[in-house]
Structure 1
Amino acid sequence: MQIDKNHVEKREKSYDDILVANKAWAKSMTDKDKDYFKRLALGQSPDYLWIGCSDSRVPAAGVSQTDPGELFVHRNIANQIITNDSNLMSVIKYAVDYLKVKHIVVCGHYGCGGVIAAMEKNNDEYLGDWLSSIKDAYKKYKAEIEAIDNEKGRINRMCEINVERQIEKLASTSIVQHAWDKGQELQLHGWIFEIETGLINPLTDILSNPNQ
């Protein structure tokens, strides 16, 4: 495979730019508040756990306009709740049981590549398995999806369905159920982000145990 030298040089420059930008940002923060990072280093007590997509265009802090310390964050492809994923479940466990977050947000986005791959029955190693639950959802809702007369609309509706299903799965996890059983304040929110406008569209909320 031939390597594009200009592309490599551009990437290396971008790497340097990130480090330069980091120094400038750190200086700007301490110029405004000399003790900013000292306080930040003392610990965290966020009210929100953000479970989002790994897509590089949907940064949690940028989308929500929150500061360091306000969001506890987990991201994966297509913002899924998969209970046999120990990475995800340990994040939820820590956020709910130790940080005592009051809100868990599952934030998807329109045009999600993971959702599109599931709709196209992607069977790549790892990725195909990871998307299996979205493939199942697509089969279940196929009649509704195919009734939409344009491809973009079909994809975006499937992205919404995916978020709604993840909230349902999150609500049924033992971690969330135990928190509600103890009377812990915990609300679940399903949001979807529209990259074309930069706006969040709230889809669904579960404010208390639906089984009670």
Structure 2
Amino acid sequence: MHTPEKLLLENKAWSQEMGAKDPEFFKKLAIEQYPKFLWIGCSDSRVPAETVVNAHPGDIFVHRNIANQVLNTDFNCLSVVQYAINVLAVKHIIVCGHYGCGGVKAALQRQQSNLLVTNKWLMHIKDVYRLHQDELEALEPEKRLSRLIEFNTIEQVQRLAYTSIIQSAWKNGQKITLHGWVYGLEDGLITELIKVEDASSIPTIYQYTDDL
């Protein structure tokens, strides 16, 4: 799998295999998508959303970026969330981090002058570190990385809950559950860290006072 040509050959083989299993598969898939899940994951090539949960095309709406972040200035991510809720009517939004995350590991280190744009992105993870600095610095380096990965995932779920998109959906009666998961590269298993089902746990300063 080292050349684009190889990828194209594998695509052809996959298409033929799926068509042989179900001649109507692509015809049905082309009509519309009805995913119940939005997956916000890391761009890491070792954590493909559909593969690690054994899902099929059409099951999961996916957004990926470095270190699975949800930022209120990232209109790419927010537009995906809004479309998933208002158009696709997903029922669950999963933020999935993973142990051994290179983005989080980089955020634990000093900034590199040749990664000016990436530095700005990772700054948000440094902020998460600062929020939990005392606990993190009391840990061994390897455990510190894993714990920050967990804290980062939890933080992104909370940021989702703070958005007007999610709060508006909840006010309008949409049953949307937010999940924070972490994936283990060494065993392929997923652990749930946090689940938020309504606005009851949102601190007052993040709540909207007017009708959304």
On whether the aligned pair clears a TM of 0.5, the verdict is: yes
Question: Bigger CA drift: 124-133 or 191-200?
Answer: 124-133
Q: Deviation at 1:140? A: 2.0
Number of equivalenced pairs: 200
Q: Does the Cα contact within 8 Å between 1:171 and 1:177 map onto a contact in 2?
A: yes
**Counterparts of 1:43-54 in structure 2 under 5 Å?**
43-54=32-43
Q: Secondary structure of the equivalent of 1:34?
A: coil
Paired position in structure 1 for 2:195: 205
Instruction: Report the TM-score when normalising by structure 1.
Output: 0.91
Paired position in structure 1 for 2:98: 109
Q: Deviations over 1:66-93 (max 9, x none)?
A: 1000000000000000111111111001
Paired position in structure 2 for 1:63: 52
Q: Does the Cα contact within 8 Å between 1:121 and 1:135 map onto a contact in 2?
A: no
For residues 188 and 121 of structure 1, what CA distance do their matches in structure 2 show? 32
Show structure 2 runs of 5+ residues with no match.
208-212
Which contiguous aligned blocks of 4+ residues in structure 1 show a shift greater than 2 angstroms?
121-124
For residues 134 and 104 of structure 1, what CA distance do their matches in structure 2 show? 20
Paired position in structure 2 for 1:33: 22
> What amino acid is the match of 2:63?
H
Q: Deviation at 1:122? A: 2.2
Work out whether 1:172 is the aligned partner of 2:159.
no
Q: Deviation at 1:208? A: 1.6
For residues 190 and 125 of structure 2, what CA distance do their matches in structure 1 show? 22
Q: Could you tell me the percent identity over the aligned residues?
A: 47
Paired position in structure 1 for 2:210: none
Work out whether 1:140 is the aligned partner of 2:140.
no
For residues 131 and 20 of structure 2, what CA distance do their matches in structure 1 show? 55
Q: Deviation at 1:94? A: 0.2
Paired position in structure 1 for 2:117: 126
Work out whether 1:158 is the aligned partner of 2:148.
yes
Q: Does the Cα contact within 8 Å between 1:190 and 1:203 map onto a contact in 2?
A: yes
For residues 43 and 82 of structure 2, what CA distance do their matches in structure 1 show? 20
Show structure 1 runs of 5+ residues with no match.
1-9
Q: Does the Cα contact within 8 Å between 1:61 and 1:67 map onto a contact in 2?
A: yes
Q: Does the Cα contact within 8 Å between 1:167 and 1:190 map onto a contact in 2?
A: yes
Q: Deviation at 1:119? A: 1.0
For residues 167 and 77 of structure 1, what CA distance do their matches in structure 2 show? 16
Q: Does the Cα contact within 8 Å between 1:111 and 1:152 map onto a contact in 2?
A: no
Instruction: Report the TM-score when normalising by structure 2.
Output: 0.91
For residues 207 and 137 of structure 1, what CA distance do their matches in structure 2 show? 23
Q: Deviation at 1:16? A: 1.7
